[in-house]
Amino acid sequence: MTQVRIEGKEYAIKQIFSDEFEFNIPRYQRPYSWNAEKAEALLNDLLIASLEDESKPIKDVEPYFLGCIVLIKQSNKSKAAIVDGQQRLTTLTILLSALRASVTKEEADDLVTYLYQKGNKMADTPNRYRLCLRERDEEFFRTFIQDENGIEKLKELNDLDLTDSQKLIKANALLFLNRLQGIQEELSLNLFTDVFDEAALGYSKSISPNQRLRLAQFIIQQCFLVVVSTPTLETAYRIFSVLNDRGFNISLTDILKAEIIGKISEQKQDIYTRKWEEDEEKLGRDNFTEMFSHIRTIRRRAKPNKNILEEFREYVIKPINSSENLIDTVISPCAKAFYKIKKPNDDTNNLPKKIINLFQWLNQIDNFDWLPPAIFYLSKQNSEEYLVEFFTRLERLAAGLMILRANVNERVTRYNKLLNFIDDNRTLFDPYSPLQLSSEEQRKIINNLNGDIYLVEKVRRYVLLRLDYLLSGGGASYTHEVITIEHVLPQNPSANSQWLQLFPTKKDREKYVHRLGNLVLLSRSKNSQAQNWDFEVKKQTYFSKGISPFVLTTNVLHESEWTPSVIERRQEELMNHLKVLWDLQDSEPIKQLSLNI
């Protein structure tokens, strides 16, 4: 068996951008994504390192380490596919282009060789570019970054005509150009004053021609990368993963994308790369990354005992054993389902109003353990009738477990059982399904709702908003910047107030103050003075129509007084609404609060 050779070596940038390497970025790699903050951070670091002591010859300046890159490369060939490092190499190329446009013509001519090797008209050989981006951005990058005089034309381009990666390339190129030439525009973030070392402040406004030359020399001669290369895809991705485990800045989705799409035939890679990136762009990078942990849970159905990357390989990639099937039957359907759940109001989802409403409530649950079964069911089912029934029950279950204050182990165990039921096509709506609440759970939920619910911070807001929406007939919209919970009977009534006559002892007040029947919602911050007003004053100035948009609050206006009997009646009414909403059956009727103190 032939042993695969892995090579690791330190190279100066003058060797990186030379005939030793001909870099290309495979189709499956994500597009260029460095924003202006990252680009300027790199420039600031290089300025500090190169200009800290300008009396030193460049060869005596402390070398600067730019990190490690991973390549698929034959030891005797120059062609190198970048597995990790494209963001740094692309940004360095942009910076060298900006330097070329900021130095003398003689110095600029010397920089050209690090951007491309000039062709020969006599020999009819074309320019050979040191770095080739992915097909979609390759021509743009050559025209406006690598070729002479291209960077100055970037300002004329309309961003509407550019891809997201091209917009970032343009922004970073103009940022570098403006900084190097001392032009202060809004494009530059001017981050020095907030983030970077004070040593950089001297270079933030004006960089002299000599300093530009010195910076270019420093990058070419004294900046180094460690290049790890191997001739095979499999070994390169293994190295890629190990580097990630050691703390290098490689994301989970980068590794999985490289592993999964890298195994697809070259003829189909572009198709599946496009599918992958469309899902990632639509969901957003953070949500897309989160989705993989939910897919792991869907397939694993147990608490993780390894890191997510290892478990995803073992329980998702390995059993399917086909990258095309994995994307077509798991990743893409889950991405589409996850997007519908996270962005239910997007018109492109074409969701029924009932489903939109249920997704909006589920997204307000104080945990996300319900998401794997939600994604899994939605990716498998398209019947509106079944979807409404399932998500009605799932919201009931998620709200119930939250009200019960079930811990993470209890929640995960319950939702994993639900995943098994979904996968086995078992009946989800019979009384013994894990989707349903048991009689004992229903009884405990009712007891918790009927207690001092205000003291359960994460539950009280959800329950009150859910109630208000129900009382409004489903017409309420909660887009207020501030929503607060107010006690009608104050927590600490003022001395000699009417409240102390109606609720004379501390025991009287403690019995009612934190109950559902005594709570209302406000669309503004609490007024500490108003909280203690007598009922009639509070009702007219604090709860009146036109001030409060909440039905739960304006209903208080119908009351002429606020006494223990009023709170008891309201408590019973609101509890009955919740019992109907969540189909809660109590083995024992709700006990009336006694008026006998």
Tell me: do 267 and 142 sit in the same domain.
Answer: no
Pick the closest to residue 253 from 290, 219, 220 (CA basis).
Answer: 290
**Distance from C-alpha of 334 to C-alpha of 316, rounded to nearest angstrom:** 13
Residue entry with tokens 């989970």: 252
**Distance from C-alpha of 194 to C-alpha of 551, rounded to nearest angstrom:** 46
Tell me: do 233 and 336 sit in the same domain.
Answer: no
For the chain, give the percent of residues with pLDDT over 90.
57
**Distance from C-alpha of 583 to C-alpha of 436, rounded to nearest angstrom:** 10
**Distance from C-alpha of 471 to C-alpha of 487, rounded to nearest angstrom:** 19
- Lowest mean pLDDT: which of 146-155, 242-251, 279-288, 446-455? 242-251
Mean pLDDT within 464-490: 84
Residues in the chain, how many? 597
pLDDT surpassing 90 at residue 114: yes
Residue 445 is assigned to a structural domain of this protein: no
Residue 454 is assigned to a structural domain of this protein: no
The structure tokens listed for 467 are: 């109630």
Q: What is the domain count for the chain?
A: 4
Mean pLDDT within 92-120: 94
Residue 242 is assigned to a structural domain of this protein: no
State pLDDT tens for residues 410-453: 999 999 999 999 999 999 998 899 999 999 999 999 999 999 99
Output 542 or 588, whichever has higher pLDDT: 542
Amino acid identity at 585: Q
Residue 590 is assigned to a structural domain of this protein: no
Tell me: do 383 and 511 sit in the same domain.
Answer: no
Q: Which residues, other chains included, contact 129 with Cβ-Cβ below 8 Å and sequence gap of 6+?
A: 115, 116, 117, 142, 146
Mean pLDDT within 5-19: 88
Tell me: do 265 and 407 sit in the same domain.
Answer: no
**Residue 106 in contact with residue 98, Cβ under 8 Å?**
no
Output 550 or 238, whichever has higher pLDDT: 550
Tell me: do 375 and 287 sit in the same domain.
Answer: no
Q: Is 476 helix (H, G, I), strand (E, B) or coil?
A: coil
Tell me: do 281 and 362 sit in the same domain.
Answer: no
For the chain, give the percent of residues with pLDDT over 70.
87
Residue 337 pLDDT class (50, 70, 90 cuts)? very high
Helix (H) or strand (E) holding 548: none
Among 298, 327, 342, give the residue marking a domain's end.
342
Tell me: do 26 and 151 sit in the same domain.
Answer: yes
Tell me: do 260 and 155 sit in the same domain.
Answer: no
Residue 402 is assigned to a structural domain of this protein: yes
Residue 592 is assigned to a structural domain of this protein: no
pLDDT surpassing 60 at residue 547: no
Tell me: do 19 and 161 sit in the same domain.
Answer: yes
Longest Cα separation, the chain? 108
Among 178, 209, 237, give the residue marking a domain's end.
237
DSSP codes, 10-50: EEEHHHHTSTT-EEE--TTSPPP---HHHHHHHHHHHHHHH
Pick the closest to residue 539 from 562, 566, 517, 516 (CA basis).
Answer: 562
Residue 446 is assigned to a structural domain of this protein: no
Residue 257 pLDDT class (50, 70, 90 cuts)? confident
Residue entry with tokens 């068996």: 1
Tell me: do 499 and 556 sit in the same domain.
Answer: yes
Residue entry with tokens 């900006």: 98
**CA distances (Å), 431 to each of 393, 426, 428, 578, in order?**
12, 12, 9, 20
Q: Is 504 helix (H, G, I), strand (E, B) or coil?
A: coil
Among 296, 322, 342, give the residue marking a domain's end.
342
Tell me: do 353 and 336 sit in the same domain.
Answer: no
Q: What is the C-alpha end-to-end distance of the chain, expressed in Å?
A: 88
What is the domain range of residue 27? 7-237
Residue entry with tokens 């001092």: 452
State pLDDT tens for residues 20-65: 999 998 877 778 989 999 999 999 999 999 988 888 999 999 999 9
Residue entry with tokens 């018109």: 347
Helix (H) or strand (E) holding 84: strand 79-84
Residue 597 is assigned to a structural domain of this protein: no
**Distance from C-alpha of 585 to C-alpha of 109, rounded to nearest angstrom:** 82
**Residue 151 in contact with residue 173, Cβ under 8 Å?**
yes
In whole numbers, what is the pLDDT of the chain averaged over residues? Answer: 86
- Lowest mean pLDDT: which of 250-264, 270-284, 332-346, 571-585? 250-264
Tell me: do 368 and 466 sit in the same domain.
Answer: no
State pLDDT tens for residues 367-401: 999 999 999 999 999 899 999 999 999 999 999 99
CB neighbour class for 50 (10 Å; exposed up to 12, middle 13-18, buried from 19): buried
